[in-house]
Chain A
């Protein structure tokens, strides 16, 4: 079985400050990990993914995420937040060891960046 936890329903940060959106996961085998962003009244957009290789993954809009196998975490980060980053963020995991390859999503974290 696979699962994802996003422990914070909401994250508040001031513009210009660094931001972190947390994600922890559980899979039987190795994970494929993904971050998506959803702006109001829009579909989800892919931000970045970890499949294999470098633990630090860089993605769209200046976001990055660090894969930490020992802590089973894949936190999303950005060095300097923008008001336009305010959105709903979803973490997702797939088990790379096989099966149906259907991802499991977290419940989402609302990021609010204050001017």
Chain B
């Protein structure tokens, strides 16, 4: 059981570049989430999914898009990266009302 994995672990982008972060879980969880963590801001929910083919906006969705084509994968896209998107990104998954399982994070720097 790998749990929740995230790819890549680190990335440096230039302003305006695009990228996709991949999250995969092997626990057959219905719910998946993308968060960003910034100093002093705690965890902020970007987007989430309650099942394959469905996504919804969280607290800070602007500048991000997501897709959940397969139940085990949840992709986070940045179409045109901005310095304000420099952050650590965490993916998580859970059953309906259970605890969340988090990935190890992706550290993104946008220059």
Contact = CB atoms under 8 A, between A and B. Distances in A.
Interface of A: 32, 34, 36, 41-46, 49, 51, 90, 92, 94, 96, 100-103, 105-108
20 contacts: A41-B105, A42-B104, A42-B105, A43-B90, A43-B103, A43-B105, A44-B102, A45-B102, A46-B100, A49-B98, A90-B43, A92-B100, A96-B97, A101-B50, A101-B96, A102-B45, A102-B48, A102-B58, A105-B43, A108-B43
Interface residues of B, number: 24
A92 B42 CA distance: 11
Interface in B76-111: 90, 92, 96-105
B56 interface: yes
Interface of B: 4, 31, 33, 40-43, 45, 48, 50, 56, 58, 90, 92, 96-105
Contact of A94 (B97, B101, B104, B105): B97
A34 B97 contact: no
Nearest to A98: B97
